[in-house]
Amino acid sequence: MSIALQTLWHERSRYASGVLAVTFSAVLIALQCGLLLGLFKITSIPIDNTTADLWVGSTAVPSVDLGKPIPLSYLTRVDGTPGVTRVEPYIANFANFTKPSGGTELCFLLGSEVDYGAAGAAKMLTREQLTLLTMPDSVIIDESDAKRLGVDNPDVPEPRAKINGKEVRIVGKVRGLKSLAAPWVFCSLHTARHLLGFLLPPDHVTYLLARCESPERAKQIAAGLRTQYGSDMGAYTAAEFSAGSRKYWLFRTKAGVAIGYAALLGLVVGAVITAQTLYSATTANAKEFAILLALGIPRWRISLMVLAQSFWVGVIGVVLAYPVCLGLRVLALQVGADVDLRWEVLLGTSVVTLGMALGAGLFALRSVRQIEPMSLLR
């Protein structure tokens, strides 16, 4: 390994293009995967920003925005289950938002209990904002959606708009709950039921949210409810429902295929450049390798050194890629894009990139097999 590193250092100008190619591939793969995860985290915001351990809804709900109304009487089924500490209704439904200046926009209405500490209330809502939501027909939106909904005029502190033809008052804004498709609109259960009107049958809700003694207990309760009432009711832990919503949007929009294709393209480009760099460097050192063979050094030792060089090219490329990824993530956050560089993404990127570098090293071994000691006499 030390010989391989010494060779890389002394011939750094020759291996620089290979290192840069590996760095480029690692950065592209990490950013594409992180952007994909960050993008689809938005689709599960209503789940991830509540304190509920258990979500109960209609059967086979693929995503949080596709729940169908269920009878409020199902609450007794959940409330009577051992291990459940609190159950409350939750309304989630699409609605038409009429801007103050005219024009409409599709929004997603989220109605919950608004007492402080309610399982369905968004975590980012302050105590004061929850109090404001107790007023009839008052709603809160994310500030990133204000312009889209036409309520970004700073001279109007509480702009009035209409949802499903009924006037509402926007009493506050939050940050960090932006939407991917229809803007989230937060309100109380009473307001949600009034705004939806006939769209939500009487004595029906979209979900029942429950807190359990522990997340592990929530898994057992969800499994038990599915077994007992699976024909007309679905039960999901918050983690299961969140992951399911993201997967649904991932495959529904085909965005994962497009981003994956771009990452694969970066991997291929990096592999080709790295392979060509290592192959050229190995060929350039053919005379030195021929001398080693003439001195009795086994060919496999030389091959091992070439693979060690490719390994260190990969390691150096990954190390250089890490700060670049962090820097680009900060820039992405400035424009409102979340790049989720969790450790699984970084580890997976490192493994794939090192595998690519070693593959390029195996390609470079072709030139080692062609070296013969007799070439010194030519």
Q: What is the pLDDT of residue 327?
A: 92
Predicted local confidence at residue 85, as pLDDT? 93
pLDDT in tens, 6-24: 666 666 666 677 788 888 8
Residues lower than pLDDT 50 in the chain = 1, 376-377
Check residue 285 and give its pLDDT: 63
Helix (H) or strand (E) holding 293: helix 286-294
Q: Which of 183, 211, 208, 194 is CA-nearest to residue 90?
A: 208
Report pLDDT for 298: 75
Distance CA 290, CA 360 (A): 22
pLDDT in the model for residue 125: 92
pLDDT at 263: 67
Res 17: pLDDT = 74
Query: Angle at CA 314, nearest 5°, toward 310 and 315?
Result: 120
State the pLDDT at residue 377: 46
Distance between CA atoms of residues 229 and 210, nearest Å? 16
Structure tokens at 279: 């192959």
The owner of tokens 């070296």 is 371
Please tell me the predicted confidence (pLDDT) of residue 247.
Answer: 86
Question: Does an H or E element contain 374, and which?
Answer: none
- Encoded amino acid at 221, one letter: I
| pLDDT single digits (tens) 210-242 | 999 998 999 999 999 999 998 899 999 999 999
Cα(273)–Cα(166) distance, rounded to whole angstroms?
61
The whole-angstrom separation of Cα 341 and Cα 326 is 8
157 contacts: CB under 8 Å, gap ≥ 6? none
Structure tokens at 263: 């990452």
How far apart CA 302 and CA 298 sit, in angstroms, is: 7
